[in-house]
Amino acid sequence: MKDENFLKANNAQHMWHPMTSPADSLANPPRIITKGSGVRITDIDGHETIDAVGGLWNVNLGFSNTAVKEAISNQLDELPYYSTFRGTSNDQVIELSYMLGEFFKPDGLTRSFFTSGGSDSVEVMLRLARQYHKIKGESGRTKFLSLKKGYHGTHMGGASINGNANFRTQYEPLMAGCYHIPAPYTYRNPFNETDPEKLAQLCLQALEDEIAFQGANTIAAFIMEPVLGAGGVIPPHPGFLPAVREICSRNGILLLLDEVITAYGRLGSWSGARHFGVKPDMIATAKAITNGYYPFGATMISDTVAEVFESDQTAAANIASGYTYSGHPVGAAAAVACLKETLRLNVKDNAAARGTQMFEGVQALMAKHDIIGDIRGGVGLMTAMELIGDKDKKAPLDKARIAKFYEATYAAGTMVRVSGPNVIISPSLVIEQADVTKILADLDHGLSQA
């Protein structure tokens, strides 16, 4: 490794960071992370912390899974790359598509289309949704509906359906024909409704109204995350998604789930679709498909949608989308190994148990610390605390105090992710009870220092 001064100077001089303003990055240089082991990371100063973010909600199996590392290394020896464009395939990607077909069969999805990550998987869903309607002769169905507060990656399509102004305004004008419905976010919503069930009804009515306003026969799809992630961990009322499914089916609108965070066990279920008991038309996955060991993603397609494509011999059904790295053999080998490990370790059950411990723990913290305005989670290992400066006005805690919280928590031994006023806690799904206890103690310490 190069020396610390070289790294710091060159990071400042040559690197722009995602989701960061270059000026801010210069003023507050990033921590340089040098090692990951189990559920822990170490920075260049040798300070070790529990990674309560789980990478970026993706390192579900932790940082030292031997089976995954071996699979990648073996595949690099066998075949480091070949394309899966028309005419060629590879053994790893075929095994993976078989395994994913089995994994998502209960959700009604058995076809895979491979990508390089979450934003790609979302983009593919949007493209396939429009194409599906065109093949069926309903070329007027081009619009997309999604939730405010939703996050769907950074491609232009994803940014257009994104429901958070922070990820949109810099890049407008975005794709035409995208409209947003209020999210079932009890702490802040335009209806001032705090009851989750009543709020779900109001949001569903807003969806019905928007469909009527736009005209159902102009809408291609509705897209949402089963539990909103980057928007601050917003789990909808359990009845919300099944009702959305019914509304979509009744109106000929496809239901697309963005499961980039939620698939593969994070919710304490194998998928958000299964968690909420719905069968979507497509889902976008990435992140834990390879647990951060390799950039990779997959869009899963339902049997019903697949049949429309597969029974059409014309150019209309040609999938004119794809990436150089679609079905990359090393990524596929990593994904096969990750899926085997995910199932062998049955990570969903640990996510459910540790998620309950985490959620009970943050409830206790809320009773103790006034700066916690809201806590959300209780669905596996997706938890958030919203920090506020004033309980009545719900004003976000000021940035300097949030920074103090973050630094003190890190110094105590836990890395969390802060996004606006939200503290996101999404550790690896293999985390043990004692480590969750330590995260909660470190959060307690950080909150007392803010």
117 binds ligand PMP (CB under 6 A): yes
Q: How far is the CB of 228 from ligand PMP (least distance, A)?
A: 8
Closest approach of Cβ 229 to ligand PMP, in Å?
Answer: 5
Burial label, 83 (beta-carbon count in 10 A; 0-12, 13-18, 19+): middle
Shortest reach from residue 316's CB to ligand PMP, in Å = 28
| Shortest CB 224 distance to ligand PMP, Å | 9
Measured from the CB of residue 158, what is the shortest distance to ligand PMP in angstroms?
6
The interface mask with ligand PMP, positions 420-449, x = CB under 6 A, is ------------------------------
CA distance linking residue 89 with residue 138, whole number of Å: 32
Does 261 participate in binding ligand PMP (rule CB under 6 A)?
A: yes
Told to check if 130 binds ligand PMP by CB under 6 A, we report no
Candidates 100-108, 133-141, 204-212, 225-233: pick the segment binding ligand PMP (CB under 6 A). 225-233
Of 107 and 225, the one with the shorter C-beta distance to ligand PMP is 225
DSSP one-letter string for 35-63: EEETTEEEETT--EEEETTHHHHT-TT-S
122 lines the binding site for ligand PMP (CB under 6 A): yes
Task: Output 201 or 271, the one with its CB closest to ligand PMP.
Answer: 271
Backbone angles phi, psi at 245, to 5 degrees: -60, -45
Phi/psi region, residue 191 (left: phi>0; alpha: psi -120 to 50; beta: rest), is alpha
Backbone dihedral angles phi then psi of residue 115, each to the nearest 5 degrees: -135, -175
DSSP 174-221: --SSEEEE----TTS-TT----HHHHHHHHHHHHHHHHHHH-GGGEEE
Helix (H, G, I), strand (E, B) or coil at 299: strand
Which residue from 97, 119, 162, 291 is in contact with ligand PMP, where contact means CB under 6 A? 119
Tell which one of 51, 107, 225, 341 touches ligand PMP (CB under 6 A).
Answer: 225
What sections of 259-325 are H helices per DSSP? 272-276, 303-310
Is residue 204 within 8 Å of 240, Cβ to Cβ?
Answer: yes
Enumerate the β-bridge partners of residue 197. Answer: none
β-bridge mates for residue 372, sequence order:
387
Nearer of residues 30 and 140 to ligand PMP, judged by Cβ? 30
* Minimum distance, C-beta of residue 255 to ligand PMP, in the bound complex (Å): 15
| Listed residue (448, 436, 450, 444) closest to 54, CA to CA | 436
The smaller minimum CB distance to ligand PMP, of residues 17 and 198, is found at 17
Selected from 153, 268, 327, 380, the binder of ligand PMP by CB under 6 A is 153
- Is 260 a binder of ligand PMP (CB under 6 A)? yes
Segment interacting with ligand PMP, rule: CB under 6 A, options 140-148, 151-159, 199-207, 418-426: 151-159
Of all residues in this chain, which one has the CB nearest to ligand PMP in the complex?
Answer: 118
Count of residues engaged in binding ligand PMP, rule: CB under 6 A: 14
Of 300, 221, 225, 299, the C-alpha closest to 262 is 225
The answer to the question of residue 258 lying near ligand PMP (CB under 6 A) is yes
**Count, residues in the chain:** 450
Name which of 225 and 386 has its Cβ closer to ligand PMP: 225
**Among 265, 170, 174, 278, CA closest to 224:** 278
By the criterion CB under 6 A, which residues form the site for ligand PMP? 117-119, 122, 151-153, 225, 229-230, 258, 260-261, 286
